[in-house]
Amino acid sequence: MLQLHELEEIRNEAYESLRIYKEKTKSFHDKHILRKSFVEGQKVLMYHSCLKLFLGKLKSRLLGPFIVTKVFPHGVVEVVSPSAGKSFTVNGQRLKQYYESMEEEQADVIHLIDPVYVDE
């Protein structure tokens, strides 16, 4: 009977140490998560996780751009595809801000002149 009580104590200690380990691991993981904030109307790119299996060297892992329609608490974002018009919710960790390229009208054009060599 005494051995059964000792076994029960060892089991309880193991459960307690496992609980403490899980709490420490979770706090470490949560500390290293990057919080991303999005606003409605912002353009974003979405990470396509299916390409991990069939990864091509030059394939882009990002899809989009999508437009953010609603931001929910805890990092959930509702996006809509402008081409298809479909809206769906995704985890904010799968999204990345989309930076549009500069058009020629906005870019400054600098004309370079060939240097003239002077013989000395």
Gap between the Cα atoms of 45 and 67, Å rounded: 9
Q: Where are the domains of the chain?
A: 1-33, 43-97
Quick one: DSSP state of residue 107? S
pLDDT at 104: 54
Report pLDDT digits (tens) over 42-99. 999 998 876 555 566 677 788 889 999 999 988 899 999 988 889 999 999 899 999 8
User: Tell me, what DSSP letter sits at residue 6?
Assistant: H
pTM of the predicted structure, to 2 decimals: 0.57
CATH 3.30.70 assigned to domain 43-97? The reply is no
Strand order across the 87-91 sheet: 87-91, 76-80, 62-71, 43-47, 95-97
Average pLDDT (1-5) is: 87
More confident residue, 84 or 101: 84
Distance of alpha carbon 105 from alpha carbon 82, whole angstroms: 24
